[in-house]
Copies of this chain bind each other. A is one copy, B any other.
Amino acid sequence: MKRKVTLKQIAKELDVSISTVSKALRNSVEISDDTKQKVQAFAKLYNYKPNNIALSLKNRKTNTIGIIIPEIVHHFFSKVIRGVELVANQRGYNVIIGLSNESFAKEVINMEMLANGSIDGFIISLSKETLQLQDYHHFNETISQGMPIVMFDRVVSEIQCDKVIVDDFEGAKNAVEKLIENKCKNIALITTKDYVSVGRLRTQGYLEALKNHSLDLKAELILKLDDNINYEVNLDALEKEIEQLFKTNKTIDGIFAVNELYALTAMRVARRLGFNVPNDMQVIGFTDGVLSKHSTPSLSTVSQHAQLMGEKAAGLLIDKLENDEDEESYQTQIIASELIERESTK
């Protein structure tokens, strides 16, 4: 087992100074061709590679970015990571991940762990708990120490930083307008309670579409679910809620749901109750997930372009890191969503 070779060892072996070795390897004009060749040959032979940690310490720059997300087993977030990794790698950065698991405490701990020199900047999507508590001190502290943050998807207007978001409002509006065009008269909304920003914006989009087409808002057609319940493991409960909605509102002929699980479950329940999708009832979800494509019938959705969000976020962060002139200007990039029509709409 041969440990990695260092400049010091090369210097000793060749009987020159460390400085000479360092310069020779970087092809400095200060060093004679003879010495350069000797050193470079030796370095190659022993497969010398500079130690990243030492470089980081010297340069006060780690070339690593940290990404903090609530959950990784999730199509949206894993696609974002892929985008971040793609751009980061292209530009010579590594990516270190932290999972908040939707917990405020874990988010804070993760950030503190990474903020002490391990990384140059953060890419973050806030945990649900953070959004509920509205406690953002950890972001302010990080930023005030000169470490840039880029937020994506679940962002918050109270913090001044670069942001990348999808046009939740427009996306939802377009989806609902599509349903209206398709002759739906009674469009239900399945959404979350208000504290998560994306749920709120999508709900607003729904309302706006109704208003634009002079349709009455019927409160009984809006089902607000508690996002703290993990319906993924508790599917029955979700089905019951939706079944209830259908049974008390027999005229529903269209559904807009703010995520994949709600939309898919709604479709399944509807079919079980004897509705034909899309003839009796049309359904649109909001997601980048993989279930929509493979369900029967396949589900029309508003696509969020998750990977693109990751790419943009990484680009913004690295731009900021590499522009010395730290102008205090922050931008919010909006990624256009896209309505993907599949079999669940006409």
Partner of A94, one of B1, B56, B113, B291: B113
| Complex contact B95–A97 (CB within 8 A) | yes
A79 at the binding interface (Cβ < 8 Å): yes
Quick one: closest B residue to A55, CB to CB? B117
* Assembled-state Cα–Cα distance A337/B79 (Å): 27
Judge whether A229 is part of the interface by a CB distance below 8 angstroms.
no
Using Cβ atoms and an 8 Å threshold, which residues of chain B touch A97?
A: 81, 85, 95-97
Contact check, A146 vs B1: say whether CB atoms are below 8 A apart.
yes
User: Is there an interface contact between A99 and B73, defined as CB atoms closer than 8 Å?
Assistant: no
In the complex, the answer to whether A116 meets B82 with C-beta atoms within 8 Å is no
Which one, B52, B95, B98, B294, contacts A264 given CB within 8 A? B294
Asked whether A64 and B96 contact (CB < 8 A) given A50-B116, A53-B117, A72-B78, the answer is yes
Q: How far is the CB of A203 from chain B (nearest CB, A)?
A: 25
Q: Mark A86-113, 1 if CB is under 8 A from B, else 0.
A: 0001000011111100000000001011
Q: Is the CB of B72 within 8 A of A82?
A: yes
Query: A117 touching B72 by the CB < 8 A rule?
Result: no
Q: Identify A53's interface contact among B4, B118, B295, CB under 8 A.
A: B118
Residue numbers in B under 8 Å from A62 (CB-CB): 53
**Are A49 and B294 interface neighbours, CB within 8 A?**
no
**Residues from 92 to 151 in A contacting B, C-beta threshold 8 Å:** 94-99, 110, 112-118, 141, 144-146
- Complex-state Cα separation, A79 to B72, whole angstroms: 8
Q: Are B94 and A95 neighbours in the complex by a CB distance under 8 Å?
A: no
In angstroms, Cα B55 to Cα A56, docked, is: 12
**CB proximity to B under 8 Å, residues A288-317:** 290-291, 294-296
> How many copies of this chain sit in the oligomeric assembly?
2
A268 CB-CB contact with B under 8 Å: yes
Smallest Cβ distance from A142 to chain B, in angstroms?
A: 11
A296 adjacent to B296 (CB under 8 Å): yes
Q: Is A44 close to B, CB under 8 A? A: no
Q: Which A residues are closer than 8 A to B by beta carbons?
A: 1-4, 47, 49-54, 56-57, 62, 64, 72-75, 78-79, 81-82, 85, 89, 94-99, 110, 112-118, 141, 144-146, 264, 268, 290-291, 294-296, 326
Known contacts A52-B117, A94-B96; can you find 20 more A-B pairs with CB under 8 A? A1-B144, A1-B146, A3-B146, A47-B141, A51-B57, A52-B118, A53-B57, A64-B96, A72-B78, A73-B75, A81-B97, A82-B99, A89-B99, A89-B110, A94-B118, A95-B97, A96-B96, A96-B97, A97-B97, A264-B294
Enumerate 10 A-B pairs (CB-CB under 8 Å) in ascending A order. Answer: A4-B117, A49-B112, A52-B116, A64-B118, A72-B81, A85-B97, A94-B98, A94-B114, A291-B291, A294-B295
Closest 10 CB pairs of A and B: A51-B117, A52-B117, A53-B117, A96-B96, A49-B116, A73-B78, A52-B118, A53-B56, A1-B146, A52-B116
